[in-house]
Amino acid sequence: MKKSLLGVLSAALIATFAVPAAPVLAAAPWAIEKAAAPLKGTKIKVLFLDRPGYRAIIKLLPEFEKQTGIKVNYEVVPYENAREKQVLNFTSKGDITLALVDLVWIGEFAENGWIVPVDKFSGDASITDPNLNLPGFFPLLLNAFGSWDGKVYGLPFDNYSGLMFYNQCMLKDAGFDRPPQTWDELMNVYAPKLTRPEKKQYAFALQSLRGETQSADSFMRFLWPFGGSLLNKDFKSNLLSKESQAGLKFRQDLMKYMPPGVVSYDHAEAVNALAQGQVAMITEWSAFYGTLTDPKTSKLGKCLGVAPEPKGPAGRLPALGGFSLAVAAQASPAQQKASWIFTQWATSEAIARPYVEAGGVSGRMAVYKDPAVQAKFKYVEPMVASWQQGVPEFRPRFPAWSSITEVVAEFGSKMMLGEVSIEQGAKEIGSRMEETLATEGYYDGKKKKLQ
């Protein structure tokens, strides 16, 4: 009897302390197969770009489809058409269930209600991986690529940082054993020794083709590190500030160390100029590492060096770009759930390593702590360093950017060609930009000043 009483008391104690954990112990661990079981056969649709990060996930897709039974239909489109296709699809209630969101589209997509905040799904334990771990993303990326007005809409998927790629051998021949640390050093110390026009060799190439390349990769790159910016806190043009003018003037002065015709260079031309030994240094997206290490597309071999972008007077504020995946509001409830499961899988910590191995750049911090990954991919260390700081609004992410980028692209390239002075160009961009922002309602209090 005593024994039995002790047994009952023991059982009661165990029951008392085990109760809170009981449901966890009782429930089977979360498995993507189980979560997706009710959605088997659901078709989801997303746009991809013809870039390494998308090729990487396409390689891994069969595994996801096998595990979940969810069919992922994707269409590969050029970057220039991606926004257009999605906007037309969303406004005509089309078939896209998962939005591919460039960081400069997040404001537009969110404000129009085309994408759904993740908290709609993350509270549903049946479809949310307990290891979702949002703090596991680089905070800068989650903030810049996926968040708008304090809400998270998308998870960082295809992530870039501006990096300096350089030809170590050319630098060594010119007497340098390290890359330049500052923009000033690049222009005044390195560039004169690395530029030999008679041999068609130049120190630096800056992709500046009219379009987003001019506005994002060329124009904006020389504002932030010099302490300038496009807008001040009142959303008025800041391009005539001393700092912005200094940055733009620096770009103009640096042109004498660039190949002629750099105004017509897109990413491909700039990367190719470095790959073929025509220029010694470029600042490009981390995603081009694969192109520069592939012997089929690059002669650099072991001469390739990778470093963070140089610092300006305001510090190291490199170019920031990338895409998140966000569930489309127009999708049916089942497609939304399936798209959410796919988004978690494609951006998960579990898939990060194979994704990186396949040529993608994950937004997860954990994967880059792996010494094997650091050793294998030279871009990791400078990229991770770049993502420790930086400005989410490197390019404003509000809906008006699609209009403003066109003006910046036009007058940015006119400045480089000398068709307008830096001051005139800045005035033109400023007045047209303010006109657009006034129409949007930023000056009469109709709209929150978010960028």
Partner 1 sequence: MASLTIDPPPRRRPVCLSHGRWTPFLFLAPAVLTLFAIGIYPTLFAVVTSLRHYNLTRTHDGFPFVGLHNYIAVLADHTFRETLARTALFYVTVMPVELALGVTIALALHRPGWTLMRAVVRVSLVVPLATTYAVVGLIGRLIFNRDFGVANQFANWFGMPGLDWLGDPRGAFAAIAVMDIWQWTPFCALIFLAGLSMVPNEVEEAARLETSSPLALLRHVQLPFLLPGLTAVLILRSADILKLFDMVFTMTRGGPGAATDLVSIYIQRVGFRVFDMGTASAQAILLLVLTIVLSRLFISAFYREID
Buried b (16+ CB within 10 A) or exposed e, 259-273: beebbebbbebbbbb
**Residue in 50, 65, 149, 419 binding partner 1, rule: CB under 8 A:** 419
**Residue in 38, 192, 197, 260 binding partner 1, rule: CB under 8 A:** 260
User: Of 174, 172, 177, which is closest to residue 192 (Cα–Cα)?
Assistant: 174
CA distance 309 to 394: 14
Encoded one letter per residue, x for contact with partner 1 by CB under 8 A and - for no contact, window 189-208 reads -----------x--------
Q: How far is the CB of 165 from partner 1 (least distance, A)?
A: 19
**Residue in 73, 91, 232, 421 binding partner 1, rule: CB under 8 A:** 91
Which residue in the block uniquely carries the two structure tokens 């190291």?
316
**Residue in 245, 278, 297, 374 binding partner 1, rule: CB under 8 A:** 278
Note the maximum CA span of the chain: 103
Is 217 among the residues that bind partner 1 (CB under 8 A)? no
Q: Which helix (H) or strand (E) holds 350?
A: helix 349-357
Task: Tell me the window of 27-35, 303-311, 376-384, 403-411 that interacts with partner 1 (CB under 8 A).
Answer: 403-411
Nearer to partner 1 (CB atom), residue 73 or residue 81: 81
Structure tokens at 383: 């990229």
Is 261 among the residues that bind partner 1 (CB under 8 A)? yes
Radius of gyration of the chain (CA): 25
Task: Tell me the window of 7-15, 190-198, 253-261, 381-389 that interacts with partner 1 (CB under 8 A).
Answer: 253-261
Is 86 among the residues that bind partner 1 (CB under 8 A)? no
- Find the Cα–Cα–Cα–Cα dihedral 287, 291, 294, 298, rounded to 10°: -140
Is 94 among the residues that bind partner 1 (CB under 8 A)? no
Is 252 among the residues that bind partner 1 (CB under 8 A)? no
Q: How far is the CB of 404 from partner 1 (least distance, A)?
A: 10
Is 87 among the residues that bind partner 1 (CB under 8 A)? yes
Is 349 among the residues that bind partner 1 (CB under 8 A)? no
CA distance 203 to 188: 11
Nearer to partner 1 (CB atom), residue 182 or residue 278: 278
Touching partner 1, residues 117-156 (CB under 8 A): none
- Find the Cα–Cα–Cα–Cα dihedral 113, 119, 121, 123, rounded to 10°: -160
**Residue in 339, 344, 386, 413 binding partner 1, rule: CB under 8 A:** 413
Nearer to partner 1 (CB atom), residue 257 or residue 342: 257
User: Of 436, 439, 412, 440, which is closest to residue 426 (Cα–Cα)?
Assistant: 412
Buried b (16+ CB within 10 A) or exposed e, 408-423: bbbbbbbbbeeebebe
CA 346 from centroid of its chain's CA atoms: 15
Q: How far is the CB of 208 from partner 1 (least distance, A)?
A: 8
Question: In 92-173, where does DSSP find H-type helix?
Answer: 106-111, 119-122, 139-146, 168-173
Q: How far is the CB of 393 from partner 1 (least distance, A)?
A: 19
User: Of 221, 185, 227, 224, which is closest to residue 206 (Cα–Cα)?
Assistant: 221
Is 239 among the residues that bind partner 1 (CB under 8 A)? no
Q: How far is the CB of 370 from partner 1 (least distance, A)?
A: 40
Is 112 among the residues that bind partner 1 (CB under 8 A)? yes
**Residue in 108, 217, 243, 309 binding partner 1, rule: CB under 8 A:** 108
User: Number of H helices and number of E strands within the chain?
Assistant: 21, 10
Is 11 among the residues that bind partner 1 (CB under 8 A)? no
User: Of 160, 135, 154, 157, which is closest to residue 386 (Cα–Cα)?
Assistant: 160
Is 403 among the residues that bind partner 1 (CB under 8 A)? yes
Pairing of strands 71-77, 43-49: parallel
Nearer to partner 1 (CB atom), residue 205 or residue 307: 205
CA distance 333 to 263: 47
Q: What is the DSSP letter of 185?
A: H
Is 450 among the residues that bind partner 1 (CB under 8 A)? no
Is 410 among the residues that bind partner 1 (CB under 8 A)? yes
The residues that touch partner 1, with contacts defined as CB under 8 A, are 83-84, 87-88, 91, 108, 112, 200, 209-211, 214, 259-265, 278, 399, 402-403, 406, 409-410, 413-414, 416-417, 419
